[in-house]
Structure 1
Amino acid sequence: MSPKNDTEPLVTVDSNGQLIYGRTKHGERMLDFSHCGYMGGGVALPDAVVKITLEPLSAPQDEDHDDTERIQAAIDSLGMDKVTSDKDISAILLRAGTYRIQGQLKMEKSGVVLRGQGEETILVCSGTGQRSLICMSGGAPGPVYKNDGQFKIQDEKVPLGETLIHVKHNGTIQVGDRVYVQRNTNNKWIKRLGMDHLEDDPKAGANNWKPETYVQKYERTVIATDEESITIHVGVPCTIQENFGGGEIIRVKPDRRMSHCGVEYMDIVSDYNGEEDEDHGWKAVDMNCIRDSWVRNVSAYHFGYSCVSIDEKAIRITVQDCKYLEPISKIRGGRRYSFNLCGQQCLIQRCYTSHGRHDYVNGSQVRGPNVFLDCVAVDHHADCGPHHRWSVSTLFDNIKCPVLNVRNRGTSGTGHGWAGANMVLWNCTTQKIICEYPPAANNFCIGCKADEFAGDGHFESQGECVVPRSLYLAQLKERLGMDAVKSVANEEQFEFLG
């Protein structure tokens, strides 16, 4: 099958190096992904001042030793309720050696970095028990306003990528306010997608989609307003249509999530007993209820689920230069999601996996934008891409992996259905790509190389890379300038920016 595109190119570069955006036949444009990552993109990860230094206290072979309590005490002593600048961030340095964790390390307050000295610092998830070794989660996204807090979107259609939304708020919404852009659904939308027939085959064990479970809230900041409209800082990641349920703008109180925390420069290794053992470390780092934080230069060995899992209440996270290696588990569903991205406005870049299943993956109803950039997967057991239930607007930018799919998974699982919408595959290299077109949305495959293409999605420049090399970095350069690119790109990325 040789899919074709019947519209103008969605992104081109003019003679001055500026990005020119085309539109689909439905009037939709490419989303700006440059807001993804720490502090909203284009900001270098801070190098926190070391306030506490810990030394290893046992020999590597001492399996009964436990460093949990003393490392946890150090974390708790430095945690802050609020961070106002990078100067408030403090690091705990784990000097080279082995540290055994019989339990779990919890980072629940702001401004703490757990730092090793590279691969010579080894954090061991010791003993038995399926668990996340490091949990980074504290606070809450912030409650909504109960009075004068919810306003109906007046537009018949707010297309993908649009930042201007008409809403009659009588001056209640101000510049700088946090809002949820809520996208509703109805039975008409479910039927349009064909997700009302998943139960037709009782042997499949799938469930039909229900409108009330597919309401999505996109976190945004208001950057302009008048009495009948607002402008948000990042466009909508999925078209909002009145005939499919419409939407609302919901005012949100100040963010109370922990922030400005990091895990960096170490190896994290799980004990295990046998090649299919599952009673051991599951996630090396788990992030939820957290913003503006990071994991960098961490290699995770033998964990059954992931190196880093970014959960749905996380926002503006950067994960970079990390590896998921030698996983230990059965090879079946619910395992080996090497870099699992379920938050909003997150960046995972320059990561590597081997022997995973779904290596660079979105879970259910992930609300974009999100970005995977310059990542590699080898010796896989499944595919990369959105996994299930209408995740929207993730950019897979220069991903090298065996199989990359954006498709209708039908009755898989308990009714995965349309796994993703408005996904962008940009200059990726794979053996096989499936890019399918969901009703009332899009999926884009641009500049990708593969031995086999399939699907009826939006395809451009099959088998030949396009300019710019990286859409994320090009959008970041256009929005914030070259210094912003230098803050997040390594030398190789910067050299091949064009």
Structure 2
Amino acid sequence: MSDKKVGYYRGIAFTTDNIRFLMKHQSIFSLLILSLSALLFSFINDNGAWTSRFLNVNKNGSITYHPDEKGNTIPDFSAVGYHHGLKEIPELAVVKTLNPVNGDAGNMIQKAIDELSALPADANGHRGAILLTKGTYAIAGTLNIEAGGIVLRGAGTGTEGTRLIASGKGLRSLLKIRGKGKITEIPGTRVQITDKYVPTGAKSFKISNTKGLKSGDKIILFRPGTDNWIHDLKMDQIEAREGTKQWTGADYNLSYEREIVKIQGNTVFIDNPVVMAMDQQYGSGNIFKYEYKGRIQEVGIENMLFESEYASDTDEDHGWIAVDFDHIENGWVTGVTSRFFGYACVSLDGGAKNITVKDSKCLDAKSVITGGKRYSFNNNGQQNLFMDLETTEGRHDYVTGAKTCGPNVFYNCKSRNTHADIGPHHRWASGTLYDNIDTDGEINVQDRGNWGSGHGWAGVTQVIWNCKVKSAAIQNPWVSGKNYAIGLQGKKLAGRLKDKPDGEWEGQGQKGLQPVSLFQAQLRARELKK
């Protein structure tokens, strides 16, 4: 009886007699199966796609996070930006229209801002938009927006657009948007977190008493600074030089703004994750309700070009920041370009929360190329989103400062001719995602030692996802968390100081990371939960 063919695999014909033989000789059969499995695996992965060991996206779009031995995971960064990304940036109706004038236009624009500020806001907190028609507007001083619900809108950034010029001399912000006040604890509301350890990535924890708390309450997740934590972090042992300040626990109390979404028994659920573990050996933590009297909301800057006059490439007596935010919640900057400023296109100070900055450029800064200059898109606030941005001739192009509390996100941003590194600049920023950053310079997360006045550990829970760089140093601090370099294209650096713990590196130089964008995947996963 002749062999009967039953199938092919990669050109190999399998017959009934072949199969009888292989079943008789099981060890040979097992080896062949293993070989065929390996071949099949390589075939499936011919496109080079791979996933991280820290998480995977399921078929339905949800995400499974893989915890470490302490339960820490990469956090969910999706609830950042204007209204946590739950609302679209609104299109406010134009209520005032201004045209270019000869000479200084600052008084005219400020008068329009003040008049609009005096009008009542609608139910959404909006007052309306001031439209600056195409042309050039010289501003000798600073424009100030100190009331919510106001949009300053131009006609675009091109030759037929709206051009605001920081004219003459004077180191200053061209446009300041700021309320006033600060985080103020409501007396009698502070309660202790009772879990011995609340891991990074957690959105719930147990507290000693839930009396007086409810869904919708705004709370501070308070992580105290303690001297034993500073000692274990070795930040009381910075190699000293002139001006070096050792860290002390009292200077490192961290206040994370959160909202309660649910309470079950003594367990509180919050809207944004823990981005630095709450550890009982370092004082555990508390929550308390808070107020921020004077903070404004719903201010937007749209579609205009900001330029600064300057005397030379190293001049520093001219426009410094184009758009400067503080004491504001739920605002936006869209479609703006700055040129020739010494510091930043957009700078968000510590009181700026839930701001979206997108589709904007910071070009051709003019200053001495040294410390404290050219922080193109600067963030010291919380839950802010920077996306689809470009820079040239910057230093720290996408950057956070001291004790910046996350989550915060820089997504899909490009830098060219950069003169320093991207990343947390100094003194313990926590919870930042750098997602699809493309730079011809460096991204670094490291112990900066005695640079500045003692920068020390720059940050923790800094996630560098699918970024393209010239080189990068990503290190883990001695205690209290990890930093991640996942799918990074570029050279790995040892960092400024020797013998520091290596960060969590995965897939260096390996293309095909899935998901391509962690931020976008987390947004999609959040949509599934609605």
Instruction: Report what 1:4 is aligned to.
Output: none
Q: CA RMSD in A?
A: 1.9
Structure with bigger RCO (C-alpha 8 Å, 6+ apart): 1
Q: Aligned with 1:321: secondary structure? A: strand
Instruction: Report what 2:16 is aligned to.
Output: none
Deviation at 1:86, TM superposition (A): 5.0
Whichever residue aligns with residue 356 of structure 2, its letter is T
Whichever residue aligns with residue 155 of structure 1, its letter is D
Q: Aligned with 2:144: secondary structure? A: strand
Contact 1:142 1:256 in 2 (8 A): no
Contact 1:104 1:133 in 2 (8 A): yes
Deviation at 1:26, TM superposition (A): 2.5
Q: Aligned with 1:400: secondary structure? A: strand
Query: 2:133 aligned with 1:95, yes or no?
Result: yes
1:42-93, Cα deviation, whole Å (9 max, x unpaired): 43211111110001012xxxxxx11111101111122269856558341101
Whichever residue aligns with residue 261 of structure 1, its letter is V
Task: Sort the Cα spacing of 1:41 and 1:81 in 2 relative to 1 into closer, same or farther, 3 A.
Answer: farther
Deviation at 1:460, TM superposition (A): 1.6
Task: Sort the Cα spacing of 1:392 and 1:269 in 2 relative to 1 into closer, same or farther, 3 A.
Answer: same
Q: Aligned with 2:489: secondary structure? A: coil
Instruction: Report what 1:194 is aligned to.
Output: 234
More deviation, 152-161/11-20 = 11-20
Whichever residue aligns with residue 34 of structure 1, its letter is S
Which runs of 5 or more structure 2 residues have no equivalent in the other structure?
A: 1-50, 496-501
Aligned equivalent of 2:171, options 130, 133, 157? 130
Instruction: Report what 1:461 is aligned to.
Output: 507
Distance across 2 between alignment mates of 1:454 and 1:381: 19
Equivalent residue runs for 1:305-384 within 5 Å? 305-384=343-422
Q: Aligned with 2:194: secondary structure? A: coil
Instruction: Report what 1:55 is aligned to.
Output: 99
> TM-score, normalised on structure 1?
0.90
Whichever residue aligns with residue 378 of structure 1, its letter is R
Distance across 1 between alignment mates of 2:445 and 2:153: 36
Instruction: Report what 1:475 is aligned to.
Output: 522
Instruction: Report what 2:205 is aligned to.
Output: 165
Deviation at 1:336, TM superposition (A): 0.2
Contact 2:125 2:298 in 1 (8 A): no
Task: Sort the Cα spacing of 1:215 and 1:338 in 2 relative to 1 into closer, same or farther, 3 A.
Answer: same
Aligned equivalent of 1:221, options 236, 255, 259? 259
Distance across 2 between alignment mates of 1:344 and 1:41: 14
Instruction: Report what 1:17 is aligned to.
Output: 61
Contact 1:171 1:226 in 2 (8 A): no
Distance across 2 between alignment mates of 1:38 and 1:186: 33
Task: Sort the Cα spacing of 1:255 and 1:473 in 2 relative to 1 into closer, same or farther, 3 A.
Answer: farther
Instruction: Report what 2:87 is aligned to.
Output: 43
Task: Sort the Cα spacing of 1:333 and 1:115 in 2 relative to 1 into closer, same or farther, 3 A.
Answer: same
Contact 2:61 2:528 in 1 (8 A): no
Q: Aligned with 1:70: secondary structure? A: helix
Deviation at 1:463, TM superposition (A): 1.4
What stretches of structure 1 move > 6 A for 4+ residues in a row?
none
Deviation at 1:250, TM superposition (A): 1.1
Deviation at 1:256, TM superposition (A): 4.4
Distance across 1 between alignment mates of 2:266 and 2:292: 23
Contact 1:338 1:357 in 2 (8 A): yes
Deviation at 1:481, TM superposition (A): 5.0
Whichever residue aligns with residue 164 of structure 2, its letter is L
Deviation at 1:358, TM superposition (A): 0.4
Task: Sort the Cα spacing of 1:428 and 1:84 in 2 relative to 1 into closer, same or farther, 3 A.
Answer: farther
Q: Aligned with 1:34: secondary structure? A: coil
Instruction: Report what 1:280 is aligned to.
Output: 318
Task: Sort the Cα spacing of 1:375 and 1:178 in 2 relative to 1 into closer, same or farther, 3 A.
Answer: same
Query: 2:459 aligned with 1:420, yes or no?
Result: yes
Instruction: Report what 1:391 is aligned to.
Output: 429
More deviation, 274-283/446-455 = 446-455
Deviation at 1:166, TM superposition (A): 1.3
Whichever residue aligns with residue 125 of structure 1, its letter is A
Instruction: Report what 2:442 is aligned to.
Output: 403
Contact 1:362 1:385 in 2 (8 A): yes
Contact 2:431 2:461 in 1 (8 A): yes
1:155-198, Cα deviation, whole Å (9 max, x unpaired): 11111111112112242111110000000121111111111112
More deviation, 96-105/460-469 = 460-469
Contact 2:125 2:149 in 1 (8 A): no
1:135-168, Cα deviation, whole Å (9 max, x unpaired): 010143553211x211111111111111112112
1:349-404, Cα deviation, whole Å (9 max, x unpaired): 01100010000000101000000000001101111000000000100000011210
Size of the aligned set, in residue pairs, is 468
Deviation at 1:422, TM superposition (A): 0.6
Contact 1:8 1:22 in 2 (8 A): no
Instruction: Report what 1:3 is aligned to.
Output: none
Deviation at 1:129, TM superposition (A): 0.7
Q: Percent identity?
A: 39
More deviation, 165-174/70-79 = 165-174
Query: 2:473 aligned with 1:434, yes or no?
Result: yes
Query: 2:189 aligned with 1:149, yes or no?
Result: yes
Distance across 2 between alignment mates of 1:79 and 1:93: 15
Aligned equivalent of 2:155, options 96, 99, 117? 117
Task: Sort the Cα spacing of 1:94 and 1:8 in 2 relative to 1 into closer, same or farther, 3 A.
Answer: closer
